[in-house]
Structure 1
Amino acid sequence: MRAHVIAPILLTLALAACVPTGNTLPNATTAPVTGHDQLLADLRILSADDMEGRDTGSAGGERARAYIVSRFEAIGVAAPAMGRLQPWEMAGRSREGGKLYSGVNILGVIPGTRVTDRYIVVTAHYDHVGISDGLIYNGADDNASGVATMLELATRLKAEAPEHSVIFVAFDGEERGLLGAKHFVEAPPVPLSSIILNVNYDMTARAETDGKLWVTGTYQHPALRPLLEPVVARGAISLAFGKDTPQDTGSDNWVEASDHGAFFRAQVPFLYFGVDFHPDYHRPSDDFERITPSVFANATDLAIDAFRALDRGLSR
């Protein structure tokens, strides 16, 4: 997400003993869970050492992809007509300069009950920056958290269907230049004109920094803000609007800072949900044990409340 600056620091990576080890892929489960157990399990598994930082084209990235596919299947999220996987090949940035990457987006769809032919596309990138100088960049907040939030939303939409049809996309290649998102808007599974909104989750766990889950994009799409302003805080976490005006410059402007940037450039309405920078951003210390479970749970509930408000209010 955002600046994509890799700043290695020396530390000992020590995930809790409950994370998977070796090369065994954790099995998804359809068994009921209590509260936010599955949300936290998804975050823990995707940010484990076994995933090797989930770099695009890596074995760890492939393991993460297999896990997300298994979760979509367990939840009961169908594949769109074009299939579950959307492979692509594109030049992107690397530590050594330009490089050709082969990545794979993961897709799912839940039909709407009121507006079946117009789509909200919910996105979160599952890749991170891999391994550097022998240190694993696990990317718990960036962006195992956003994927876990997306999977939690999918679970709840299967229990209580959305009004609009929803396409879920776990993007690959965000850290290499929004590559998966760029390919998606060039080759969408439905006509681009039928996509009425992109909701992008990138870094949803560490809201304790300022108590805010930021919403970027209402400056570009002011009609969306009144739909979100009534959404009440969850615990100590509330929505905050910004990072999207001409006065927001440099790293304070998030309009093109993550995958929603590809939708913005394609003139598709977007909203980005994410937390502010924190000291573990793009460092090997962005680990599961740095997450406060109650904060992440509240931020995810808030993100889902916001989605429900948008789903109810759009097209009316």
Structure 2
Amino acid sequence: MKKISLLVLFITLLGCKNEHTYENKIKKDVMFLSDDKLEGRETGTDGELKAAEYISQRYAEIGIEPKGTEGYYQTFSFKPTNDPHGEVAFTNIAEDGTVTGTNVVGYINNNAKNTVVIGAHYDHLGYGGDGSLHKGEKAIHNGADDNASGVAVMLDLAGKLKNVNTSNNYLLIAFSGEEMGLLGSNYFVKNPTIDTKAVSYMINMDMVGRLKQDSTLAVYGTGTSPIFKQVLNSHNDNFKLIEKESGVGPSDHTSFYLADIPVLHFFTGQHEDYHKPGDDFDKLNYKGMATISSYIFEIISDLNDNGKLAFRKTKNESEETPRFKVGLGVVPDYLYDGTGMRIDGVSEDKPAQKAGLQKGDVVVKLGDSTVTDMMSYMRALSAFEPGDSTVVRVERKKDTLDFNLIFK
């Protein structure tokens, strides 16, 4: 580790002497990070460390200072838990049974009073494990969209921000351990390398690589500062925005929101390759990613002279989510804003597939319950037990169809 850190520091010193010229390297960055050679970038593996070294070299190339605890790196060790709802225990030193993750932290120092944090997790699932939705033979999960895409856009923004919008400093963080429970961001917030009281707001990008034809872009955390909605909409010339006010969600922005920092999280939606080996670089929308990067840059530019943003607590939507014992075996379209719950993917050998449901179907009734949105769908689902049978009503193009379904 120390040899790598010294090498990176040397590259940094060389890079900082040169003038930086912005160049779009989004596709190049995604291709490296999602290459089979990195074996899925699972936290604590050699593949993740290769990704960390690459990100460090890109920081140095842009002329970004190290801001970790050892050069660009901030390492943390923890003991994994088998309880999906339990917290891991961070340890001061690596012990038997511990895993060591590595955040990669860079800094654009404009000698400003406030700092903007821009982050994206770079770890993924390696060869699968508990988080995988793959049912076949063991295979590398390259995670091009999840989340090489977010890291690539973060690096693109870093290149654009060097020497401009100098009323703020910029802290760039590639987080480790997100797939294991937001561990890297949680650790950083509890062990920051800057004064977090001077952080104006945090921007997070997780799965921004598959912008669809209708240009739907979800933005979470829009209620965490009073100014966000106005700024988001005043610069939106390209997207169908789905705005979610809550600062709590299944990605690293949550760690910062819980520290009373305004957050914005960008997301282009789930897909059939989510947490599967098929999430590869050739399926990403690179033009869309460049457009998202430009949009975020415009937002940052607009907020350049606004000082430290006001923080506002939001309703925690996750606390209202019903718990359920069964599932349809579908991937919901989280960006759908019509009536019902639209299916974005159907898993093999699950109740939905066996009943005849298809991708694109919109569930409008489940049993006796009308489904108007994602929350009502989950409430309806929570009423069933394994072995129950029911009728699910869907809209398929211009037809309304009923299917008999049995929950496993």
Tell me the CA shift for residue 275 of structure 1. Answer: 1.2
Alignment check: 8 A CA contact 2:68 2:105 kept? no
The equivalences for 1:143-222 within 5 A come to: 143-208=147-212, 210-222=214-226
Preserved CA contact (<8 Å) 1:228 1:310: no
AA in 2 matched with 1:125: H
Partner of 1:284: 277
Say which SS state the counterpart of residue 169 (structure 1) adopts. strand
Report if the CA contact (8 A) 1:137-1:286 is conserved: yes
Q: Which amino acid aligns with 1:243?
A: K
Is residue 305 of structure 1 aligned with residue 293 of structure 2? no
Report the counterpart of residue 94 of structure 2 in structure 1.
none
Per the alignment, residue 274 of structure 1 pairs with 267
AA of the residue aligned to 2:107 = V
Change (3 A) 1:81 1:204: closer
Residues 82-118 of structure 1 deviation map (CA, whole Å, 9 limit, x = unaligned): 43111101234579997742101111111236xx121
Number of the residue aligned with 2:143 = 139
1:303: how far off? 2.4
Give the match's secondary structure for 2:272: coil
Q: CA deviation at 1:214?
A: 1.7
Secondary structure (helix, strand or coil) at the match of 1:208 reads coil
Asked whether the equivalents of residues 273 and 303 of structure 1 are also in contact (C-alpha less than 8 Å), the reply is no
Q: 1:128 to 1:94 in 2, by over 3 A?
A: farther
Is the 8 Å Cα contact of residues 198 and 308 (structure 2) preserved in structure 1?
no
Identical-residue share of aligned pairs (%) = 33
Which has the higher Rg, Structure 1 or Structure 2?
2
The DSSP-based 3-state class of the residue aligned with 1:54 is coil
The corresponding residue for 1:242 is 243
Report the counterpart of residue 120 of structure 1 in structure 2.
116
Determine which structure has greater relative contact order: mean sequence separation of CA pairs < 8 Å that are 6+ residues apart, divided by chain length.
1
TM-score (norm 2): 0.62
- Greater helix share, structure number: 1
Instruction: Tell me if the contact between 1:205 and 1:295 (Cα under 8 Å) persists in the aligned partners.
Output: yes
Which residue is equivalent to 2:399? none
Deviations 1:171-218 (A, max 9, x none): 000000000000000011122211121111111111116412221111
Aligned residues: 276
Contact 2:65–2:107 (CA under 8 A) maintained in structure 1:
yes
Tell me the equivalent position of 1:296.
289
Structure 2 counterpart of 1:230: 234
Structure 1 runs of 4+ off > 4 angstroms? 27-35, 93-99
Q: Is residue 185–residue 252 contact of structure 2 (8 Å, CA) maintained in 1?
A: yes
Number of the residue aligned with 1:70: 57
Q: What RMSD over aligned residues (CA atoms) do the two structures have, in Å?
A: 2.9
State TM-score, norm by structure 1.
0.79
- The CA deviation string for residues 271-311 of structure 1, in whole angstroms up to 9 with x for no partner, is 11111112221111110011122222222222222222233
Question: Is the CA contact (8 Å cut-off) linking 1:47 and 1:288 kept in structure 2?
Answer: yes
How far has the Cα of 1:32 moved from its partner?
8.8
Give the C-alpha shift of residue 265 in structure 1. Answer: 1.6
Q: 1:176 is paired with a residue of what secondary structure?
A: coil
Change (3 A) 1:138 1:299: same
Partners of 1:179 and 1:140 in 2: how far apart? 20
Tell me by how many angstroms 1:35 deviates.
6.2
How far residue 80 of structure 1 moved from its aligned partner, in angstroms, is: 2.6
Q: For residues 265 and 301 of structure 2, what CA distance do their matches in structure 1 show? A: 15
The 1:307–1:213 alpha-carbon spacing in structure 2 relative to 1, beyond 3 Å, is farther
Cα deviation per residue 1:36-87 (whole Å; 9 max; x = unaligned)?
3x11100111111111110001111111011001110111111137431111
Residue 401 of structure 2 corresponds to none
Unpaired stretches in structure 2, ≥5 consecutive residues: 1-10, 89-96, 129-136, 310-408
**Secondary structure at the residue paired with 2:78?**
strand
**What's the counterpart of residue 42 of structure 2?**
55
Residue matched to 1:102: 100
Find the aligned partners of 2:169 and 2:231 in 1 and give their Cα distance.
18
